[in-house]
Structures are given as C-alpha cells and as structure tokens.
Amino acid sequence: MTDDHPLEQLPLKAMHQRAGAKFAPFAGWEMPVSYPLGVLKEHLHTRDHAGLFDISHMQLIEVTGADAALLVATCCPVEAEKLATGASKYTFLLNENAGIIDDLIVTRLAAERFMIVANAARAAIDEAHIRRLAESMNVSVTPLKRVFLALQGPDAAAVMEETGLDATKLTFMSGFEPRPGWFVTRSGYTGEDGFEIALPADQAEAFADSLMRDERVEWIGLAARDSLRLEAGLCLYGNDLDEQTDPVSAGLLWAIPKPLRDGGPYVGAKSLADMIASGPAEKRVGLRPDGRQPVRGGTTLTDAGGKPAGRVTSGGFGPSVEHPVAMGYVRAELAAPETQLFAEVRGRQIPVRVAKLPFIVKRSQKG
Amino acid sequence: MSKTYYTEDHEWIRVENGIATVGITDYAQEQLGDLVFVDLPSPDTSVSKGDTVVVVESVKAASDVFAPIDGEVKSANEALSSEPGLVNSAPEGDGWLWTMSVADESQLEGLLDADAYKKTIA
C-alpha cells in the first residue's frame, strides 16, 4: 500500500486504544501491534491460556447461488461439491502458472453458500479474480463488513463456552452461523486450539468485552500473532507465499485433494500437475539459526560451499521455543532436515540448519 | 561529576574519567519492546558519530543504535549476550551497551541534556 491511501480503521479501534495498544500500518489497515503486556508475554499467554486478536482486516467473501460450488471449484483446488456443510478447508487462489494469488479458508455453509476468508492485502485482488471467474455463473459474490476476532489458546474452548456461544461441539476446521450475521469456525493461525468469530460491528464490542472479562483472556497484537504463526510453521502471504511461489515448492500439497493433483476444473490445474510431475526446484523449509541471533526475512542463504542456497522469507525469535526461528526457500537438494547452511546477517555468516516444521507441537489438530 | 547526554535517536551517553558509556533510553526500550538479542561491537573498533555500533533485536524487528560521538569502542556489555532483557529492565543502568573513548569533547556539547531530550519525546 502507498502512503497516499488513508489507512482503514478497525471498528473496535477505541477499545484497543483503551487497552493501551500500540498501532502500526499493516496491509492498508492501522492495526494493534502490541499491548502493554508486550510481545513476548502476549505470545506466551496465548500458548498458556487464551489470546484475543482483532483480525478484522481480513476479508470475508460470501458466495451464494446455484453455481456457488462450481465457482469455488473453479477458483480453488477444492472438491467443493463433496465438501460437507460446515467443513472448512485451507486452500488457494492460483493463477494459470499455479502461482499463489492468495491462501484462504473456504467453509461450506449450505448447499449453495460458501464463506471465503481472504488476506487483507489481497482482498481486492481476490475479489476481482473471483468475480471474473463468476461472470457467466449463477452466483453472487459479496464482501461482508464484519468485525473478525480470533480467540486462540488452550483455554479458548472453555472461555467460548462461558460466553453462551456454544462452539465447543465444533471440530477443528469446521464452522457454523450461531446467530444472524455471525460466522464461527474452529480454526486459527497460532498452532493452538481456537476459534475465529465474525460478527456484526454493532454487537462486537459487547462480545469482545464478555471475552475480556474472563481472566484467562488477554488482547494480543499483530507482532505476537506473527511469532506464534512462525513457530507453528504457518505461511504468511507476502512473506512466504506470493504469485511467484506455488503449492508444490511451498510444501502445501497436503492442502490439495489427491484427485485434483493431476488435473481439475480449477485455474492453474495444468501447471500444478506439471510441477508435481517434474518436482520443485526449491522447497520451503524451517530454519534454525545457531545461537540467539534472529535471522530475518529477506536474508540470503548460502550452502556449506558458499554457493547461493536460497532465502529466508520469515524469521524472528520464538518465545515458546526460546531460540530464533525462521523459514525460507532452499534448493530442493538442500531441503533435508539438519542440512547446514549459512545466513548472511550484517556481513557475518550465521550458521543455520534446516529444521522440521512446525517448531512447536501444534495443538490445533483436535476433534 | 558525570553528566548524561542524549541524542534525538534515543541514545544516552555518560562520560566519566574520559570514558563514555552508551545505551538506549527508557523511552527507546519501551518502544522496542522485549529484546531477545543484542549484537555487540568488538573492542578497539573506531566509530564515527552516526555509525551503527549495536543492533538490538526484539521478537519482531532489528533496530540500529548509533554512535553519539566519534571515538573507539573500549568494551561491550557482555552480560547482554545471555540476558538481553537487561536493556528493558535497566536501560540506563545494567543494560548499558558499550563504552568508548571520547575523540572530541566538543561533540558532547552538541547533544541534548535530560530536559531537552524529554521535550523531544513529549
């Protein structure tokens, strides 16, 4: 985003201000980056109890109509017709080259109704892409204005139960609409058990207040969200994924159903099948720097012989694992765990090893 | 008597017996948040005013700390290697970053005093 666009403001901004948030621009929005607790403690609180995140910058797009499943199956490598009502899938919008336009969560809400959750920075691009594919179909594509909150952590389910919003029966990667205008999924981007709750702005403050009254809950900012997702080995669009990366090299083939890997009705199917057949030139890997010095996104990697090996796409310090954590892309032959590489940081070669992802034991895969 | 000077970049510098101790201010550590790594300089490095001497890293980002004056690095605060959080808990005490010689005392007079610095962050 350029500076001449005014930043979008969160509907709950005043609430974040009262909570003492520090704000910074992110993807065109003014977002709470941290709260008085501080990034380190916010991160650990989420892993130990429950963190509340305002993720209203993410875009919900509703797809309804007789051709809703057809549209989803054309946009994304998903078996939309077979998707059970209430089931959510992590998937992508791909371009013709199988480059990733965005990574998304798609949930089927009814026979002819789907909800897509898109990244803030890609929302307008996604919407235009989806509308273009929908042109000759009997379907409507509607971006929704909602407050969107994520409650993440081992206490999240118990806290939700006490709000009177019974989401405890939801299994991981499923969603439902408990009230008009509400949309709740058991999902998240921290590696913890948790929920994402979209709701109308005029009901959001009361709901957030009810969560915050629970002593197990703290507001958590974007900075801790980033270290949480990195420890969990989850990709951040714009850092780890972009239109030049594809699901094969990104190690995200698991998200594509087997019958769709050698072809399908979705955009990019042919390119993806070719890539699977030829194998990726580079692969996304975890990276564990030796010592305590973080290695950030954008850092160049070399192999033990000093030849270019790849690049770091996300890096920082992992408060839960108490050491620096990173991920990036390396030449496919260097992708085996424990491969010794070097990261050039401020003129020095920092030894890093290829590491298995995630860095933490994920607790989100329940139910 | 020692006197502490400040820069607009949120460093402090305190000169005692011709040796200056440098660190970041309480305001700066508050802005940066919890530090997880401090990249310390090697002794005997010559630095000019404005050079990056130390890089402090929080969970999220790396930030440069600049030399407030010309001189030569004499020592680095090695305690920060194992306990970078000292910069957060005692930025103007045990969380100092490095010591250096003072090449030109007149450069100190160009820096801010405590009151002037407080006005810049007010």
User: Mind listing the pLDDT tens digit for each residue in A68-102?
Assistant: 999 999 999 999 999 999 999 999 999 999 999 99
Q: Decide if B60 and A292 are in contact by the 8 Å CB cutoff.
A: no
Whether the CB of B55 is below 8 Å from some CB of chain A: the reply is: yes
pLDDT digits (tens, 9 = 90+) for A146-160: 999 999 999 999 999
Whether the CB of B51 is below 8 Å from some CB of chain A: the reply is: no
**ipTM for the predicted complex:** 0.86
All residues of chain A having their beta carbon less than 8 Å from the beta carbon of residue B57 are 293-294, 317
Question: Given A255, A276, A297, which residue is the final one in a domain?
Answer: A276
Return the pLDDT at A1.
47
Domain count, chain B: 1
Q: Is A113 in the same domain as A215?
A: no
Q: Is A162 in the same domain as A287?
A: no
Is A108 part of a structural domain of the chain? yes
Q: Is A178 in the same domain as A312?
A: no
Mean pLDDT of A6-26: 97
Is A139 part of a structural domain of the chain? no
Structural domain containing residue B43: 3-121
Is A118 part of a structural domain of the chain? yes
Structural domain containing residue A308: 281-355
Partner B, chain A 333-352, Cβ-Cβ below 8 Å: 346
Q: Is A39 in the same domain as A159?
A: yes
Q: Is A46 in the same domain as A97?
A: no
Where residue A203 sits, what CATH number does that domain have?
A: 3.30.1360.120
pLDDT above 70 for A273: yes
Distance from CA of A42 to the nearest CA of B (A): 11
Distance (Å, whole) CA A107 – CA B94: 53
Q: Decide if B33 and A292 are in contact by the 8 Å CB cutoff.
A: no
Distance (Å, whole) CA B41 – CA A88: 51
B121 C-beta neighbours (distance < 10 Å), count: 14
Is A324 part of a structural domain of the chain? yes
Confidence bin at A367 (pLDDT 50/70/90):
very low
Tokens encoding A128: 């235009």
**Nearest beta carbon to residue A40 from set B34, B39, B55:** B34
Whether the CB of B72 is below 8 Å from some CB of chain A: the reply is: no
- For A144, list phi and psi in degrees, rounded to 5: -105, 140
Confidence bin at A7 (pLDDT 50/70/90):
very high
Distance (Å, whole) CA A90 – CA A246: 15
Mean pLDDT of A181-193: 96
pLDDT digits (tens, 9 = 90+) for A99-129: 999 999 999 999 999 999 999 999 999 999 9
Q: Is A80 in the same domain as A26?
A: no
Is A178 part of a structural domain of the chain? yes
Return the pLDDT at A91.
98
Query: E strand or H helix at B104, and its extent?
Result: none
Where residue B75 sits, what CATH number does that domain have?
A: 2.40.50.100
pLDDT above 60 for A366: no
Q: Is A268 in the same domain as A293?
A: no
Q: Is A154 in the same domain as A224?
A: yes
Contacts of A300 (CB under 8 A, 6+ apart): A308, A311, A312, A343, A344
Return the pLDDT at A42.
98
Question: Given A175, A203, A232, which residue is the final one in a domain?
Answer: A232
Q: Is A261 in the same domain as A291?
A: no
Q: Is A108 in the same domain as A257?
A: yes
pLDDT above 80 for A3: no
Domain count, chain A: 3
Is A305 part of a structural domain of the chain? yes
Partner A, chain B 20-49, Cβ-Cβ below 8 Å: 33-34, 36-37, 39
Q: Is A175 in the same domain as A290?
A: no
> Taking the model in full, what pTM does it have?
0.94
Q: Decide if B58 and A296 are in contact by the 8 Å CB cutoff.
A: no
For an interface test with B, which of A33, A42, A293, A350 has the most B Cβ atoms less than 10 Å from its Cβ?
A293
Mean pLDDT of A184-203: 97
Q: Is A84 in the same domain as A31?
A: no
Residues of A comprising the binding site for substrate? Answer: 196
